[in-house]
Structure 1
Amino acid sequence: MDNAVQQIVERIRAAAADATPLRIRGGGTKDFYGEPPRGEPLDTTALAGITSYEPSELVVTVRAGTPLAELEAALAEKGQCLPFEPPHFGTHGAGTVGGMVAAGLAGPARASVGSVRDYVLGATLVNGRGEVLGFGGQVMKNVAGYDVSRVLAGSLGALGVIAEVSLKVLPVAPAEATLAFACSQADALRLLNEWGGRPLPLNASCWTGHAGEGVLYLRLRGAAAAVEAACAHLGGERQDAAAAAARWLSLRDQRLPWFDAADAREALWRVSVPQTAPVLALDDCGAPLVEWHGAQRWYKAPAAQAASLRAAARAAGGHATLFRLPPSAADADGIARFDALSAPVARIHQALVREFDPHGLFDRTRLLGAG
């Protein structure tokens, strides 16, 4: 056990002896996400460095406190990447690999390439007893029971400190193009549903506008011949490559002008629904930003509109998350950030948390709420 991991273990055991609650924190770029963090910060940034990287095997093992930007730069040197495009919130370079996994957030390509958990092969975890546990490995295997390393994705630190993680990576696509189509939200959803049933190299999509008009941006990635054939088949207006790349990065990091709420009382809501869901009946909200081929829809609305937003999402077969609060959030008291889980799923969540952190040392309310 190296010194950085040993210090984490000792801090956890001391906190357990004193009954001092801890909240795990890397770069702090996602402090806004989930219920308000509680407990003394447990800094993971000392757990830094790429432990192993085998470009020919498409596997990298990296310590949790490593800056995400550092990992992506190392992959880029070998022509490889994290295909799910994890967002970089806050100051450039501040986010960490452990925070990326713990938050489980993915960028514009998520609907086409998969989520964070699809690329987690193994992990080392320090649990609430101060035990160092290893799960998974550096190759994909079919095993019985829980795939614990993947369960860590989106756990928001409720299960323990992620010390190290092994990730599957992929080569950068040889060709890319972005097309723009003037259309309404309903037409954009119809087109995406239609294109999804064809052998096209779809990678990402984004629609913004008003109820009756807007622009659908479609990113194609893959073999050069496939991308060029799709461009010729689909039509649309081909975008300048550099400008399109900058736009997709801005979408990933929520820096597009759409995300700048005009009303300081408006919160940012993330509505997750099936890709085939129609335009949602939300008359009190403005037009959303739609991505993931229709599966992720961002709305700006006061937190007090939680009931109507969540009802509309459930009616479409999905759920709504209060993703980010505005500077003035007086109307958010008592409103859960995450939608309620079904009773069976909630029991599984609680059982997993108790197994890994039986004494409630780590901040579990951030993920599960006060209940």
Structure 2
Amino acid sequence: MDLQDMVEAIRAAQATRTPLRIRGGGSKDFYGASLAGEVLDVGGYRGIVAYEPTELYITAKGGTPLAEVEAALAERGQMLAFEPPRLGTATVGGCVAAGLSGPRRMQAGGVRDFVLGVGLIDGWGEMLRFGGQVMKNVAGYDVSRFLAGSLGTLGVLTEVTLKVLPRPVAETTRLFECSAEESVHWLNRWGGQPVPISASFWHGGQLWVRLSGAASAVEAAVQRLGGSPTVDAEKHWESVREQTHPAFAGPILWRLALPSSAADPGLDDLRAIEWGGALRWYAGDLAAIRGAAARLGGHAVLYRAPESLRLREGCFTDLNPALLALHRRLKKAFDPQGILNPGRLYAEF
């Protein structure tokens, strides 16, 4: 499917008010509430459009597999620093639309921090372009960044320009035996020190800490923190990034974003702690989880669950009236008939 095919499909759907379900690689069909509408398969629109290693950016069509982009970057010693999960078939457009980041997010930032520009087909069937190829081109209201995490409710991402970074010169992982509470305490203490921690992961009484940067900085950090050396560290971090680690097993998985120093929410079945204590994973049908997250200044996402539970509970924390009104106005501006991924983000749109 080329651009014109997408435009015509969206215009036809708008004319008949036919809901469309935008699908690239299908790797995140589990994420979000409703999967309503006729499938608009955009995965065939793929390919790297431009890559300038010296300017630290890459531009790719929305259906380009993340694996293809990362292979091109690896040849030049560069990377997508936010480590998006590939989940087998993830595409560049789906990566931005879902807004999911991996273990290095605690050091490097999230998806939206690396989006420089996008091409978009909105619900009118109009082709739009926002942002550019370098940070200085982004001024005023940054539309390209608020599309990160919008789950396709505002348009089809046809092209994305991402900032890239060099791979670290040195990297090592240290292992610590500790409780969940101790891991949060240690990580917050280390967070106030000049220690190049690029990822952390606690599960089952073990805390894995990855150090990345200049060789001298990494060696100094090892001496400061201690811990035990690890084997197969790269394989471990890949399992965390791709969520094949046993911590992510099970039919129901909750994702809590909290202040990094937040106390134990008092919930059962804690599976893992990431991002220096700021991301915590729980399993099971936990009725009190959103209230517990709100009391600690955070929010909870029903990350993976059977469709019946996703539709009943909603996947994302309810918006207050002012934010809901703002989201509805955005939806109306970009998709007046409400045909693009209806209900995927919130039932109201």
Normalised by the length of structure 1, the TM-score is 0.91
Q: Confirm whether residue 250 of structure 1 aligns to residue 239 of structure 2.
A: yes
Structure 2 match to 1:314: 294
TM-superposed CA distance for 1:276, in Å, is 1.2
Structure 1 match to 2:222: 231
Q: Distance in 2 between matches of 1:181 and 1:174?
A: 24
Question: Could you tell me which of 46, 49, 54 is aligned with 1:51?
Answer: 49
Question: Could you tell me which of 235, 241, 261 is aligned with 1:276?
Answer: 261
Q: Confirm whether residue 40 of structure 1 aligns to residue 38 of structure 2.
A: yes
CA contact (8 A) 2:83 2:241 kept: yes
Deviation digits for residues 52-77 of structure 1 (CA, Å, limit 9, x no counterpart)? 00001001110000011001101101
Structure 1 match to 2:316: 338
Deviation digits for residues 69-109 of structure 1 (CA, Å, limit 9, x no counterpart)? 001101101110001000022xx3x2111000000000011
What is the CA RMSD across the aligned residues, in angstroms? 1.5
Q: Distance in 2 between matches of 1:68 and 1:169?
A: 13
Q: Distance in 2 between matches of 1:67 and 1:143?
A: 26
TM-superposed CA distance for 1:112, in Å, is 1.1
Q: Distance in 1 between matches of 2:138 and 2:327?
A: 21
CA contact (8 A) 1:64 1:99 kept: yes
Structure 2 match to 1:187: 182
Q: Confirm whether residue 23 of structure 1 aligns to residue 21 of structure 2.
A: yes
Structure 1 match to 2:206: 215
The amino acid across from 1:180 in the alignment is: L
Deviation digits for residues 176-220 of structure 1 (CA, Å, limit 9, x no counterpart)? 0100111111111110000000111010001112xxxx1111000
The amino acid across from 1:296 in the alignment is: L
CA contact (8 A) 1:323 1:337 kept: yes
Deviation digits for residues 129-163 of structure 1 (CA, Å, limit 9, x no counterpart)? 11110100001027554201111100000000100
Q: Confirm whether residue 289 of structure 1 aligns to residue 272 of structure 2.
A: yes
Q: Confirm whether residue 132 of structure 1 aligns to residue 127 of structure 2.
A: yes
TM-superposed CA distance for 1:332, in Å, is 5.5
The amino acid across from 1:117 in the alignment is: R
Structure 2 match to 1:70: 68
TM-superposed CA distance for 1:335, in Å, is 1.1
Structure 2: gaps spanning 5 or more residues: none
Structure 1 match to 2:326: 348
Moved over 6 A (4+): none
- Count of matched residue positions in the alignment of Structure 1 and Structure 2: 349
CA contact (8 A) 1:157 1:364 kept: no
Q: Distance in 1 between matches of 2:310 and 2:97?
A: 24
TM-superposed CA distance for 1:46, in Å, is 2.2
SS in 2 for 1:368: coil
Deviation digits for residues 252-290 of structure 1 (CA, Å, limit 9, x no counterpart)? 1111112223xxxx51001110111112111xx123300
CA contact (8 A) 2:248 2:271 kept: no
Structure 1 match to 2:168: 173
CA contact (8 A) 2:84 2:102 kept: yes
Q: Distance in 1 between matches of 2:241 and 2:309?
A: 28
Deviation digits for residues 301-348 of structure 1 (CA, Å, limit 9, x no counterpart)? 12xx23x1111100110011111015xx66665211111122222222
Question: 1:330/1:149 Cα in 2 relative to 1: closer, same or farther (>3 Å)?
Answer: closer
Question: 1:294/1:175 Cα in 2 relative to 1: closer, same or farther (>3 Å)?
Answer: same
Q: Distance in 1 between matches of 2:225 and 2:110?
A: 27
In the TM superposition, what are the counterparts of 1:109-120 in structure 2 within 5 Å?
109-120=104-115
